[in-house]
Amino acid sequence: MRPVLAAIFISIVCIVGLGVGYCYQQINSPIVVNQRLTYVIDGGAPLFSVTRRLVEQGIVTTPEQLLRYYALLTRFHGTLKAGEYDLAEVQTAADLLQLFRSGKVIERDITFLEGWTFSDWRQHLGQEPYINHRMAHLSDMEVMALMGKPHVIPEGWFFPDTYRYTRGETDLAILQRAHRKMLEVIEEEWVTRSVEDVIATPYDAIIMASLIEKETGADMDRGKVSRVFVNRLERRIRLQCDPTVIYGLGDSFDGNLTRSHLKEPTPYNTYTNFGLPPTPISTPGLASIRAALHPEIGEYLYFVAKGDGTSYFSLSLSEHNDAVERFQRSGRSEEYQSAPY
């Protein structure tokens, strides 16, 4: 009797061993992923439903039962991380299951540039095909309410940077990260400020930085532009900042700033209004924020673009007028106006 039982036991062991060996061979055989480079798993999808779809869609040829068996042998179960998986390096069904086990989904980059307006941010997000567009039908104020800032104009509240996201992430989630980063940056930079009276709050600093961002792209000039504006604020001289006028004109601005524009009665016209504009006019980057809080030392009151990306800074109106004549008036129409004057 014992020899018979032993033979049965050995037979069972052999059958199981052959089964495991066959499963191992199948699961590690090269597969063709049907030229698909990515695969998307929806949120909360269990492993077994994914393996069934993989077979039904012809992505793998390994029998579904073997995929499940292999998953059980390797203690791979439960729900999978939602997202888009890169199949480019997948050689076998085992590789595929291991990829899903890792939860390593594809991450993409989205970049927001310094000097953009919130309208630019919305347009850029709307063009991203892999983002879940939740704010398409929301107003700016509704978006800000979801950011935890109801009744706040969104301009300047988002930090320009490159953010990574996964397929299906919402535009609101990306904005939330950019908003948190702006709050963190301004809080960190604010404690080191060297200017106080005319830049009384962190929000003032963002407003000032947005003006600097639009006035110059030259790092060497940011601190000097900041100094001009600080000196003017301290002496109660109008800032006369062209970008604020342009921002206030909105969609009616056709690209040609004239003297008549400088008289338009908008809250953003720093030719007619004293002090800073009511809100930022763009998204300032870190360099402009630091310049706003740490203006260079000097008595500059005027500057004019030189045409090479940098500016010429003047101490007096007569010097500034000479610089305008030298750098800009030649070949310009009489309607052209450079600021500040």
| In the predicted structure, residue 7 carries a pLDDT above the cut 50 | no
Report pLDDT for 60: 74
Domain boundary, last residue among 154, 169, 188: 188
Q: Which domain covers residue 286, as residue numbers?
A: 192-329
Residues 203 and 321 in one domain: yes
| In the predicted structure, residue 67 carries a pLDDT above the cut 90 | no
Residues 66 and 116 in one domain: no
Return d(Cα 315, Cα 321) in angstroms, integer.
11
Return d(Cα 84, Cα 130) in angstroms, integer.
10
Rounded to the nearest integer, the mean pLDDT of the chain is 85
341 assigned to some structural domain: no
Residues 309 and 322 in one domain: yes
Report pLDDT for 90: 79
Residues 212 and 255 in one domain: yes
Report pLDDT for 149: 92
| In the predicted structure, residue 338 carries a pLDDT above the cut 70 | no
Q: Is 172 helix (H, G, I), strand (E, B) or coil?
A: helix
Q: What is the DSSP string of 231-249?
A: HHHHTT-----HHHHHHHH
Residues 180 and 146 in one domain: yes
Residues 9 and 130 in one domain: no
Whether the Cβ atoms of residue 90 and residue 31 lie closer than 8 Å to each other: yes
Report pLDDT for 336: 44
Instruction: Give me the number of domains the chain comprises.
Output: 3
pTM of the model: 0.82
**DSSP letter at 224?**
H
Report pLDDT for 181: 98
291 assigned to some structural domain: yes
3-state percent breakdown (helix, strand, coil) of the chain, nearest 5:
45, 10, 45
Return d(Cα 28, Cα 243) in angstroms, integer.
63
Task: Select the more confidently predicted residue: 340 or 314.
Answer: 314
Residues 148 and 262 in one domain: no
User: If residue 216 lies in a helix (H) or strand (E), which one and from where to where?
Assistant: none
Report pLDDT for 37: 77
Whether the Cβ atoms of residue 154 and residue 144 lie closer than 8 Å to each other: yes
